[in-house]
């Protein structure tokens, strides 16, 4: 059951919101933990076989891709303007959402994986219920989520109960990403990526005479 809270703020205060700072630190730590041991092992086996130049070339490409991702992540922000929300996403740039299109907002507490901890998810909707903007609490702080929800004085529905990801997918399929609707697709892509990476590593470390 959901309760509706009406906010009377007539105009939004200009403000720039950025993802949680811990996200950047965590992404660097995860990237280092996943790649450095693999790179070291690849070079360890490649040097005696004379294939280290190929391995170094791949490491250079992966490193460039990593810094490209860091740059894209550094651009992510949501800007609250008096007449619009401006979103800079990971793959989007200056996507403008006119304030007059924003009709309501939905805030749902969603469990983090298998733990009992929850994080808010915000869905900004138009009059037809179409999703205009989504903010997930694992990337955005609570203050940022509530700042956007309350920015334009639209009705804000707050879920009375926390939901699991499966329940969120079942209750609001139109609001989640396509890969969240079919979890098996994500699993298939992950397995395929691991298999492709394993084949690449074998090819790179094979003898240069083959």
- Tell me the pLDDT band of 209, cut-offs 50, 70 and 90: low
pLDDT of residue 8: 43
pLDDT tens-place string over residues 29-58: 877 787 888 888 888 888 888 888 888 888
Who wins on pLDDT, 80 or 115?
80
Instruction: Return the CATH class of domain 2-19+76-176.
Output: mainly beta
Who wins on pLDDT, 189 or 140?
140
- Tell me the pLDDT band of 159, cut-offs 50, 70 and 90: confident
Rg (CA), the chain: 22
pLDDT of residue 6: 45
- CB atoms inside a 10 Å sphere around CB 94: 10
Summary mean pLDDT of the chain: 83
The dihedral sign for the CA sequence 49, 51, 56, 61: negative
pLDDT at 23 over 80: no
The average pLDDT across 168-188 equals 80
pLDDT at 109 over 50: yes
pLDDT of residue 70: 86
pLDDT of residue 110: 92
Percent of the chain with pLDDT over 70: 89
Q: At what angle do helices 183-205 and 21-49 cross, to 10 degrees?
A: 30
pLDDT of residue 11: 55
Q: Give the distance, in angstroms, between the CA of residue 51 and the centroid of all CA atoms in the same chain.
A: 36
- Tell me the pLDDT band of 1, cut-offs 50, 70 and 90: very low
Question: Cβ-count burial of 85 within 10 angstroms (0-12 exposed, 13-18 middle, 19+ buried)?
Answer: buried
pLDDT of residue 108: 94
Rounded-to-integer distance, Cα 124 and Cα 167, Å:
19
The average pLDDT across 62-78 equals 89
The average pLDDT across 55-69 equals 87
The average pLDDT across 117-132 equals 94
Q: Where do the domains of the chain lie?
A: 2-19+76-176, 26-72+188-205
Contact predicate 189/137, CB 8 Å: no
> Which of 4, 1, 203, 208 has the alpha carbon at shortest distance from 103?
4
Specify the DSSP class assigned to residue 178: H
Who wins on pLDDT, 177 or 6?
177
């Amino acid at each position: 059951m959901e309760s509706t809270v009406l906010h009377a703020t007539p105009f939004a205060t200009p403000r720039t919101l950025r993802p949680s700072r811990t996200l950047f630190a965590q992404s660097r730590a995860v990237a280092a933990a996943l790649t450095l041991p693999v790179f070291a092992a690849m070079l360890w086996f490649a040097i005696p076989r004379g294939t280290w130049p190929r391995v170094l070339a791949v490491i250079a490409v992966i490193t460039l891709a990593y810094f490209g991702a860091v740059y894209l992540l550094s651009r992510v922000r949501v800007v609250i303007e008096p007449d619009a929300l401006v979103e800079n996403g990971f793959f989007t740039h200056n996507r403008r959402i006119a304030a007059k299109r924003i009709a309501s907002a939905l805030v749902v507490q969603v469990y983090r994986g298998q733990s009992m901890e929850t994080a808010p998810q915000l869905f900004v909707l138009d009059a037809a219920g179409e999703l205009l903007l989504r903010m997930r609490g694992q990337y955005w702080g609570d203050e940022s989520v509530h700042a956007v929800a309350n920015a334009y004085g639209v009705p804000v529905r707050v879920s009375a109960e926390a939901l699991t990801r499966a329940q969120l997918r079942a209750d609001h399929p139109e609001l989640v990403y396509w890969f969240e609707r079919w979890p098996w697709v994500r699993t298939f892509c992950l397995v395929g990526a691991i298999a492709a990476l394993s084949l690449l590593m074998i090819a790179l470390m094979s003898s240069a005479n083959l």
